[in-house]
Amino acid sequence: MPLDFRLDHNDFTLSDECLDAMARVLKKTRVKERGFMLCAESPSAPIYPSSDRIGGANSIKVRDCRGQGRGIVVGAYHTHPDSTCAPSWYDAFALIRRAFGCQRPTLGCRAGTKDKTVRCEAVKETPTLVEVNYFLSKRKGRAGTLATTDPEICAHLTEPIMFPISWKPEPKKTTRETVVDYDRNHSLEELRKMCRDKGVTVSGDKKTLARRLIAV
């Protein structure tokens, strides 16, 4: 199911493909940040991922949407190894700078391996060059700090939307596989005992007993 949400007065839709890519990229995250651009035909159209990129331990540059056949940049997504989805000061600054570059309120999304949660914010308004330069002058010494340590930069961001990342459930095992598993993992004696415990007939070979156990 695509995820629709509104941040202030801007609507966004994360497509299934995008949600799957967010989960896949987080699952692969070990010591380096990973991520991709969020691309769409128009600012409020369904959002698709650009190609995956791998960054460093504390930073990442994601590729733009050109060449993806997917129009314009709507935002960016990246993962935090060994951390949560809370935005760093640099994440907030990157979001402001990107929104200025795009001249529209873009989306900043990230996920952390520690909380397995995606968090997205947008900028409230398209920032001005003066605002971008102001934060540019403030960025020294901010490495490794959270955006929440600076109320001024937070004032430019909308309330976040947060949702747990969901991996696609493992495909359900078919009965045939399960019979094989029973056969492989248990002795005839064990299967007979399991049948006895469940009150079913204990005669027959291992596969017959397995099939009977699955049926109850």
CB 110, min distance to Zn ion, A: 5
Token pair, residue 107, equals 């989306």
Which one of 43-51, 80-88, 113-121, 168-176 is the stretch in contact with Zn ion (CB under 5 A)?
80-88
Q: How do beta strands 72-80 and 107-112 pair?
A: parallel
CB 35, min distance to Zn ion, A: 9
Q: Write each residue from 32 to 71 as x if it is in contact with Zn ion (CB under 5 A), else as -, in one continuous string.
A: ----------------------------------------
CB 177, min distance to Zn ion, A: 41
Residue nearest to Zn ion (CB): 91
CB 91, min distance to Zn ion, A: 4
Name the amino acid, one letter, at 107.
L
Closer Cβ to Zn ion, 30 or 207, answer by number: 30
Closer Cβ to Zn ion, 88 or 106, answer by number: 88
Sign of CA dihedral 150, 11, 119, 100: negative
Element (H, E) at 5: strand 3-7
Alpha-carbon gap, residue 60 to 70, rounded angstroms = 21
Alpha-carbon gap, residue 96 to 101, rounded angstroms = 9
Closer Cβ to Zn ion, 10 or 88, answer by number: 88
Q: Report 87-126 residues binding Zn ion (CB under 5 A).
A: 88, 91
- The phi, psi pair for 74, rounded to 5°, reads -110, -20
Total residues at the site for Zn ion (CB under 5 A)? 2
Alpha-carbon gap, residue 44 to 215, rounded angstroms = 49
Query: 128-131: long-range contacts (C-beta < 8 A, 24 or more apart)?
Result: 128/100, 129/100, 131/96, 131/100, 131/156
CB 54, min distance to Zn ion, A: 14
Closer Cβ to Zn ion, 29 or 88, answer by number: 88
Chain contacts with Zn ion (rule: CB under 5 A):
88, 91
